[in-house]
Amino acid sequence: MIELLRKPKFSTWNAKIDYDRRAAFIKWQKILETCIIDFQVGSQIKAARFVKRTFGWNAYFEDVFAVKSTATLRSRANPILRFLKWCRLQQYIGIPFSEEVVYEFMKAYAVHAAPTFGRSFVGSLAFLHHVLGSKTSLSCVESRRVTGCASKLFLNKRALKQREPLRVEHVRMLESVCLGEHRMGLQERILSGFCLFMIYARARHSDAQSAADIHLDVAEVDGAINGYVEARVRRSKTSFSLERKTRFLPMVAPIQGVCDDAWALSWMKCMDDAGIERGQGKPLLPQPLASGKWSKIPLNAEMTAAWMRHVLERAGANRDDIQCYGTHGCKATTLSWLTKHGCPREYRLVLGYHSESKHSTDVVYGRDNVAAPLRYLDQVIQQIALKKFQPDLTRSGMLVPGRVAGQKDAKDNSAETPEDQAAQFSDSEGSSDEESPDHVEVADAVAELVGHWSGGLEFGAHSLGYARHYSNRTIHCFADESQLTFMCSRNMNDHYEVLQDTPCVMHPMCKQCGAKIAVAYRRVVGKGS
């Protein structure tokens, strides 16, 4: 088709990122080709043809979307694809955009979709104008009845329920798993260490996965080990401007948690024993393999959250108490502790990697603005470990009087009454839904608008059927007619759904199944020749 269709390789994380990005590019190519003269690229293609130069879609998208993440490209393209599919069914012209057609779409289609869909669709229209130079989408964005309808539908959204911060007892469970106090394998200990890094480093899942140059800064004083695990993140979600995108975001986590032993030392040793490589372009928590080894691809937020809940349940947590947990709650945990303890707001902003624009020069020239806030965080963690401060109790019982600093309390078996309180720190709206994405809403629209996209592989020789993983959406190929085993040697189970038809868009594709399909195709071609 075009240069986007190269054979995908998943030997490295960067190769997987490139494959996902090309899959997003193909969606935008189909959108632009619907009416190319409505976009700025139309005149650019015309000018290239006039001087007899070849226009490359891949190079165009790489430049235009240079500062846009792949997740943003997908989230902005999907509402437009659904709009174009609806226009085909109604026999309307979708692009160029008409305010009348867009408004009818909002009233006839968006009212039956998720309450947030209308606002997402309007945001996609604005994206088309500001990024791709659409000539007709701006009039729809400026329409008072279109934006008013989107706002009215958004009001039907349920009240914001953020991921709850983890209770202290569950943080202790994760530390005990990481320290090897439970009968769990090396993979579970590494997973718990990664979750603890998100908790104590106040890190989002995507930022923690991208942590590079991770190392220990440890000092021993009077036989006691103290210190931090430090890392640098290049492209974080708080990097809005071009200047911030070119600066590293330092992340620091205390190695000592609410247990007696240092969780970070055990975590780093477990990663060394497992042979997990750390550095730029390598995920901090790769996908675990059935063989006990690790792939080069990062584990996504949805699967990390599910695995964390499973480990907590095995460690003794009540299932009902942990169903509300997710990776975003890990970032909110220590920030919630600090808020309840009365930590100054400027300290919490620094520890949460937020800054006010009028004080941005302090962040640039201060060099180590996190030093004083970290000392405050250390004190709060120490008070929780000594049970001088119990953030899961009600406000009247959080700070327990009559306790001597530095003295350990006897084991308290009294039942605790946690307070149902949401996290005090919220991030961008999109990140709060990353652990519960809507996988199937846009499937039909993508199939109809994008058409067939194989990612460079030939699937014509395979007719045994396909299945898709419910959570990570990976497509697998069956090895035989029984449909009990995949070509990658994995077994069919309740985590997969059998696809009735061959997928139009082969993304994301299991790399082992894809490789064996390619081998089978070459054999068929060889016999035919």
Per-residue confidence (pLDDT) for residue 419, from 0 to 100: 36
- Indicate the DSSP class of residue 399: B
**pLDDT higher at 205 or 244:** 205
Per-residue confidence (pLDDT) for residue 366, from 0 to 100: 40
The 10 Å Cβ neighbour count of residue 529 is 5
Per-residue confidence (pLDDT) for residue 173, from 0 to 100: 94
What tokens appear for 13 in the block?
A: 């994380």
Instruction: Please determine, for residue 107, whether its predicted confidence score (pLDDT) is greater than 90.
Output: yes
Backbone angles phi, psi at 217, to 5 degrees: -120, 95
Single out the residue of 203, 263, 225, 256 nearest to residue 380, CA to CA.
256
Report DSSP letters for 110-158, one per residue. Answer: GGGS-TTHHHHHHHHHHHHHHHH--SSHHHHHT-HHHHHHHHHHHTTSP
| CB 106, CB 157: distance < 8 Å | no
* C-alpha dihedral sign at 440, 446, 451, 456: negative
- Indicate the DSSP class of residue 30: H
| CB 357, CB 243: distance < 8 Å | no
Q: What is the pLDDT of residues 458-513, one digit of tens each?
A: 665 567 788 988 777 888 888 888 888 888 888 888 888 888 877 878 788 887 88
Q: What is the pLDDT of residues 132-154, one digit of tens each?
A: 999 999 999 999 999 999 999 98
Q: Which residues pair with 226 in a beta bridge?
A: 219
**pLDDT higher at 424 or 259:** 259
In angstroms, the CA 155 to CA 113 distance is 13
* SS3 annotation, 220-274: EECCEEEEEEEEEECCCCCCCCHHHHCCCEEEEEECECCCCCEHHHHHHHHHHHH
What tokens appear for 238 in the block?
A: 């708080």
What tokens appear for 288 in the block?
A: 């675990």
Edge-first strand listing for the sheet containing 249-254: 212-221, 224-233, 249-254
Residues in the chain, total = 529
